[in-house]
Structure 1
Amino acid sequence: MNYLYPAAVLRQLAETLTHEQREKVIIVGSLAAAFSLSQGQGVYTKDVDTMIAPHAAAIITGEEVANQLMAGKWTLRPDPRWGRPAEENVPADDRPLVRLHPPGGAAQWFIELMAAPDQTKPPRLKRDFYPISTQQGYFSLVSFGYLALVQHDAITSEFGIRVATPAMMAMANMLHHPTVHPALISGDDNGRPIKRSNKDLGRVVTLAILGGHGETETWAARWWEGLQAIFPQQAAELAGRAGSGFRQMLSSVEDLEQALHTANIGLLAGRGVTGSTFKRFAEHVLEVALKPLEAMPQDQNNQTARMSWPAQ
């Protein structure tokens, strides 16, 4: 992992991209969290996740951004299987993703290009892959259905590149993990097997710790607003089940410990967060954000009904 400063990465990326391309780029993940919550500090990470939005422009702009970076001497991430372009006839889900190291060859981190999901279709857990053609060959952009939420209130940085807010990243992570699935990530630097769900759901707690109570107490209203804006037909149903996986993680000592471990080698590195503190913040998210969110669809229905009653 590298210790990255958000401003330095955003500046480097902005210097390579055109104005039009910068407007369609949204930074998500660890770097986005550090941008909003780390008060000028950096973050240990190996990748910078970048979503091209909106979906209607994702393919064309994704190709343009990939070509612009490649022309700027950004190089493909070495990988025995995915470190070279595919042939044109290779299906989208068998092509490598666009993962590029910055110029110079010294940095170990890389940028990964993703596509905003198609909001004309109901969101789903399964990933989608969209084929693109670049000056170096054929790749795909991956898309995660619930990540559409980060478009809602993304912050435009001083470099013209948008950055996802902690609130929307937290909601997307919870919706993407309705249960704690047994699937493992490849492991951290110590080779320890970790459930992907615990890493992503633990990120919600991490964002709450970094933001403090003042941040998390705004989440419920912002989540409901974002769900209605991005998924208007499914908003009430999504609000009602958003916390299912989070509650499952919170009820398991093993899952909470895994979530804490991934947090303490990432965004919480060096902060000495204990298991009891981590659990306390998880419970705080449940009480001040998730439970109020779950009640909001019914509260809104009740308010609408009262407004429609005839005057006495």
Structure 2
Amino acid sequence: VCLFPGRGGAFGRCPCECDDPCPPLRHRRLRGHPWQLERGTRDHLHFPSARALRTPAPRVPDAHAGHPLQRRRPLQDHRRLVEKNGNRSDVYIRPLAYKSEELVANLKLHEIASDFTLIVVPFGNYLGTENLRCCTSSWRRLEDQMTPTQVKTSANYLNSILAKTESVLAGFDEAILLNQDGHVAEGSGENLFMMRKGKLITPVLEDNPLPGITRDTVMELASEELGIEVVERRIDRTELYLADEVFLTGTAAHLTPVISLDSRPIADGNPGPVSSQLKQMYFDIVLAETPSTCTGAPPQFPTGSRRKLGQALVPARLMADSSIPNLLPVPKE
């Protein structure tokens, strides 16, 4: 079951015609609070990516199946979507704001109608391994003068897909992309961090990494919880070879250590202490293992046969895509 306002109502079968129901969201916490998309309110619920692409979120009553659009708490709306699905495994929720007219040429963003949808898909280990063997891609990260690199848009993913495909065909797990100046930008779908000389360093946004939410979270944890100095600056490729630790972060990737780059081991070729500690802290918070001080009650689901970890309400892998409108159709009773 997906939210597809333009396909017959607030909730309906997935357009892919799959036989199995899409699994639901459980509950996610971050920094001790229910996720509720509130973490990304400033950056995503205000639709900066959508605005940059002239894709406004609907803000007035809409004619989709007679369901007026209303501004509501995102958690309530996502819970309704969850309850339409039966599976309790981890899932990835992908909200998409998109241009919805059937046009093929002479496209002008400001003249094309916009819409949005929410879909959920089962999600296991995104990268397929706990520790990554990476290579430096021959493909360069897009430049902001070519396409807005700080905007989360599906069009930019071709660059990442080419790099990822190249790395896997060459026998590696993941790709590291440099920008046009030869400075480190990011992984194919993740932000990059390195530990060197006691500092946690990540590429500056001017070098065209996507400003990820997990990136911000890891920087906050390292600074406030571990007392590590966090630095945003340019990183040269050779610095990664000399780093004490390297790891990638993302909503789907979580925090995954890089143990080698271009067949060169990072330090001793094992996950480092800082990345291991940050990873544990991140999951303790995300999985609600850390005591919460939140005031809002989380959604409750029957535990059923959930594994022990699931008793803490294992999270969905929530993707803050090009924008996440908290404007969802209210179904007819």
TM-score normalised by the chain length of structure 2? 0.27
Instruction: Identify the structure with bigger relative contact order (alpha carbons < 8 Å, sequence gap 6+).
Output: 2
TM-score normalised by the chain length of structure 1? 0.28
More helix by share: 1
More strand by share: 2
